Structure 1
Amino acid sequence: MKTLFLLLLFCHVSSAVKHSLKIFRTGSSGVPNLSEFVGSLEVDGSLVGYCDSNKNIVEPKQDWVKKIIEDDPQHFQWYTQECFQSGPNIFKVWINNLKQHLNQSGGVHILQDISGCEWDDETGEVNGFNQFGYDGEDFISFDLQTLTWIALKPQAVTTKLKWDSEEARIKVKEIDLTKIFPGLLKKYLVFGNSSLQRKDLPSVSLLQKTPSSPVSCHATGFYPDSALMFWRKDGEEIHEDVDHGEILPNHDGSFQMSVDLNLSSVTPEDWRRYDCVFQLSGVKNNIVIKLDKAVIRTNWEKSSDMTVPITAAAVVLVLIFITAVGLMAYKKKKAKCPPSPPDDGSELSEKLNPET
């Protein structure tokens, strides 16, 4: 089951000169304590604005967006229209139509869509997209090349045929994806230049849970989310025994990612042949970390360090116990036997030197 549609979806762009604008909308039916319609807008993976129809709020998430609203009040009116009128009404109609078409009476139902564009500021190429998901599964998407809808599951064929016949709707969709959204993206890139087009390098570490666990190369604190990270052997990128994690957001707006390397089939003497490489779009120099046991951060090192003193302490206790038992036996034996003549030249001395 595909679960592409999430309220906040973070996708990474591989090109160094590509920028993206994504609009997320979610309508719900029969979900207690959940707004019937919420929306958010992201530019290059950063949350720009958010709205909630039930709470009656439209909230800019960046200071430079507030500057745009001050200079262009109509821009804020567009958000208000989308969040409190057009969006909720359209999604309510769509959900009701889908419920009837799929013979669904009640229950919980969620309709989500993501629309927007990617723009290459070097070539000028624009790629627009729009896709819908229903109840957690991909449902239907728009093909900008053919100006037709693509049914992503059999139940969506009826919707595809209906939407394909709505020429005015398709024309509006084409204008949005090829003109309105790219224009909005370029405007945001100008106003949010210092924030959106900054380049923050991450902190990169090698992590390992246990001696038999894969070694994870983990990068955190980078921006933007257009980054790559991979393992190399003898300078060549490898894919076998490598597990790539997703790019995830941090609470401060930066991002993190990790890529794991399974070393079960790698001999200790071959470790030096491996390294981890982090690449951030628009930054010339890569971050490279050699696979070295000395730099791996683990959870098991500390517990291992504690093994020696704990074991040594146990040995001391055992020796003390044995010594005490021996002394008691000696005293009992001495009480039963006649005393032997003193030997001034004999001396008993024992030293316990537990290794710590």
Structure 2
Amino acid sequence: MAAFISLILVGLYLQEATAVIHSLRYFYTASSGVPDFPSYVSVGLVDDVQISYCDSRTNINVPKQEWMKEVSSEHPNYWEEETATCLGKQQVFKANIEIAKQRFKQTGGVHVYQQMYGCEWDDETGEVKGYDQIGYDGEDFLFLDLQTLTWIAPVQQAVITKNKWDNNRAAIENERSYLTQTCPEWLKKYLSYGRSSLMREDLPSVSILQKSSSSPISCFATGFYPNRAEMFWSIDRVEIHDGVNRGEILPNNDGTFQMTVDIDLSSVPPEDWTNYECVFQFSGISIFHRLENPKRNNEVNQTSGIVYLIALKAAVLGLCVVFTCILYMMKKGET
């Protein structure tokens, strides 16, 4: 059983609000030599939340969020058109994976041809970035440079395709128009449909734990949304890197996210542990968790200690609201 270390949350304060980068991305995947798996799959995501799905077995594009069904009220033929796109891309990708296999002189085995296509929009500055990236067997194959409106070929096998596509100026101009204008327009529509879900902000539950006295100390945050968050260890509010292992942000099964940042304090005297803080930053807010001297803990197999939460937020008429609450430590759950 993991032994929890007591901690004191010494403060949470509001920093200047940061802009949010929203995204609309489509992933198209063709494969060969993979048994019991569709030869083509397409997935659409808004802010990393899946909105649509189609594959070569069902041959129909369907919504994956309830609010995506609202699109039909404004665009009655939307899902029929998305299904037609799915069917058309199946044929193109089936041909492309065979061409790639020929270029790499491959006959059998498992092979995957993928495309990531979409845009990002900064809701504060209005800046838009578009991207079209193609990969083959897990490596970069081609990607579009929107600054020069040319295709970049990281591998020699893609040069033939690069030259062919570079010469099709009409196609490149159409793609530039879609990625920089049409794509962000649809992104804003999807955000309006799913506002109550996509634009929400959920603060995390944060725990400090250690499996044994010689194990690294883990700062674990779970239940936050969206997934744009940072977490690190610091001394005197200065981020430290030595002995720190930062995990990836991972999804929970309820649509929220979790992350872990470990630090090795095995060479640090226990009386100096109080100099260390775990800092979680989210949506302009920073939460500080200061370690206590472990020698003060009487029970190492139970959660102990009082956590003080002080939240400062700007409110109407410029007043500040201060909250104090007790947070319970919780075991790390399975995702």
TM-score, normalised to structure 2, is: 0.79
Q: Tell me which amino acid in the other structure corresponds to 1:203.
A: S
**What residue ranges of structure 2 are gaps of 5+ in the alignment?**
1-16, 303-335
Percent of aligned positions that are identical: 53
**Change over 3 Å in CA distance of 1:130–1:292 after alignment to 2:** farther
Is contact 2:19–2:123 with CA below 8 Å preserved after alignment? no
**Change over 3 Å in CA distance of 1:277–1:97 after alignment to 2:** same
Deviation at residue 88 of structure 1 after TM alignment: 0.2
CA–CA distance in structure 1, aligned partners of residues 84 and 119 of structure 2 = 21
SS, match of residue 89 in structure 1:
helix
Counterpart position of 1:155 = 157
From 213, 216, 222, the counterpart of 1:214: 216
CA–CA distance in structure 1, aligned partners of residues 98 and 240 of structure 2 = 49
CA–CA distance in structure 1, aligned partners of residues 174 and 53 of structure 2 = 23
CA–CA distance in structure 2, aligned partners of residues 81 and 266 of structure 1 = 62
From 65, 81, 85, the counterpart of 1:82: 85
CA–CA distance in structure 2, aligned partners of residues 253 and 152 of structure 1 = 36
**What residue ranges of structure 1 are gaps of 5+ in the alignment?**
1-13, 304-356
CA–CA distance in structure 2, aligned partners of residues 260 and 289 of structure 1 = 13
Q: Tell me which amino acid in the other structure corresponds to 1:62.
A: Q
Describe how 1:100-111 pairs up with structure 2 within 5 A. 100-111=102-113
Q: Aligned residues, how many? A: 285
Counterpart position of 2:36 = 33
Q: What's the CA shift string for 1:199-218, capped at 9, x where partnerless? A: 01111111222222211111
Q: Is 1:229 aligned with 2:238?
A: no
CA–CA distance in structure 2, aligned partners of residues 74 and 207 of structure 1 = 52
Counterpart position of 1:185 = 187
Counterpart position of 2:67 = 64
Q: Tell me which amino acid in the other structure corresponds to 2:214.
A: S
Describe how 1:294-305 pairs up with structure 2 within 5 A. 301-302=300-301
CA–CA distance in structure 1, aligned partners of residues 56 and 101 of structure 2 = 22
SS, match of residue 240 in structure 1:
coil
CA–CA distance in structure 1, aligned partners of residues 254 and 193 of structure 2 = 20
CA–CA distance in structure 2, aligned partners of residues 146 and 129 of structure 1 = 13
SS, match of residue 82 in structure 1:
helix
Deviation at residue 242 of structure 1 after TM alignment: 1.4
Of 224-233 and 285-294, the range deviating more from structure 2: 285-294
CA–CA distance in structure 1, aligned partners of residues 209 and 113 of structure 2 = 39
Is contact 2:270–2:294 with CA below 8 Å preserved after alignment? no
Counterpart position of 1:325 = none
Higher relative contact order (CA 8 A, sep 6+): 2
Is contact 1:45–1:224 with CA below 8 Å preserved after alignment? no
CA–CA distance in structure 2, aligned partners of residues 239 and 228 of structure 1 = 14
SS, match of residue 286 in structure 1:
strand
Counterpart position of 1:47 = 50
Counterpart position of 1:287 = 287
Is contact 1:38–1:53 with CA below 8 Å preserved after alignment? yes
Is contact 1:224–1:255 with CA below 8 Å preserved after alignment? yes
CA–CA distance in structure 2, aligned partners of residues 44 and 256 of structure 1 = 16
Q: What's the CA shift string for 1:75-112, capped at 9, x where partnerless? A: 212311121x2210110111111112221223221111
SS, match of residue 252 in structure 1:
coil
CA–CA distance in structure 2, aligned partners of residues 160 and 111 of structure 1 = 16
Q: Tell me which amino acid in the other structure corresponds to 2:287.
A: I
CA–CA distance in structure 1, aligned partners of residues 121 and 145 of structure 2 = 17
Deviation at residue 292 of structure 1 after TM alignment: 2.8
Q: Is 1:256 aligned with 2:258?
A: yes
Of 248-257 and 100-109, the range deviating more from structure 2: 100-109
* CA root-mean-square deviation: 2.3
Q: What's the CA shift string for 1:116-170, capped at 9, x where partnerless? A: 1110111110011111111122222111111111122333333322222222221
Deviation at residue 302 of structure 1 after TM alignment: 4.6
Q: Tell me which amino acid in the other structure corresponds to 1:27.
A: A
Of 158-167 and 41-50, the range deviating more from structure 2: 158-167
Q: Tell me which amino acid in the other structure corresponds to 1:92.
A: K
CA–CA distance in structure 2, aligned partners of residues 105 and 172 of structure 1 = 35
Is contact 1:91–1:111 with CA below 8 Å preserved after alignment? yes
**Change over 3 Å in CA distance of 1:270–1:294 after alignment to 2:** closer
**Change over 3 Å in CA distance of 1:266–1:78 after alignment to 2:** farther
CA–CA distance in structure 1, aligned partners of residues 123 and 173 of structure 2 = 25
Larger radius of gyration: 1
Counterpart position of 2:327 = none
Structure richer in strand, relative to its length: 2
